[in-house]
Structure 1
């Protein structure tokens, strides 16, 4: 029922009501947490400048979100220039990912260069959950849901390997 209401599926909602489906529970608004302070400028990260040592998981995720947003925004500007190089722009995206992510095989590290950017510095930090001793999940909410995604949330999974957070 909740999903039919959120997605505007009126025919489904009417059907569910006709078979006495229970009404959705009242949803409480998540109160965002404060992102941690960063001692570096994530928009100025370069592949030769690793992240500082001893970071919290939230700092790594926050740096990643800001870095990716800045990269994609700037890549869009550069791609409109005459001498732009799409492959080089994607390489920069991969470089940023490699600074923040584990070396786990992924289908795409660089992602795509689109508009609006995939990540936003307006993302809200909803929570941090330690699922296992070696696994922490960072819950993040999109700041401005669209008509397609009325509410869009991410879970960043942070793993701890050999006493090093990734």
Structure 2
């Protein structure tokens, strides 16, 4: 973005003019006009959608503990086979085996599921998020969402992509921006 001498508003232009000193032939465009149009198109597509945040849900897997208990039971069986019948050592080992078996049945009855990430609504729409973001955060949201703007001297094209893809990318970007603002 630049502000040309004698102009009161900032404009966007091709970087080739600033970097290489030669113009690509494309004109410049008023920044506020382009930004307003882009925002309107973006919000028309996703403004009504809920902003989601990723929530980590820890899995539950007792396989390691089950394996340790099964190994302990196997060792207790080996010891029990070496003991004379009816003694206090046999009674102690049998008591310990029952404790292990009880715990083993408890663990085997519990559901097993892997760690997961879930998308949870924040209670805020993209329109509401947009309204409270500052200009740099809005730009980041648009860039991260895959919004692309190209213009030539003949036309201006604002690419928002497919709605589903745009919404997915916007959700991911919004989650990062919200986390950064909250920090």
Q: TM-score normalized by structure 1?
A: 0.23
In our comparison, the structure showing a higher alpha carbon Rg is 2
Question: Comparing both chains, which one has the higher relative contact order based on Cα–Cα distances under 8 Å and sequence gaps of 6 or more?
Answer: 2
Question: Which structure features the higher share of helix residues?
Answer: 2
Q: TM-score normalized by structure 2?
A: 0.22
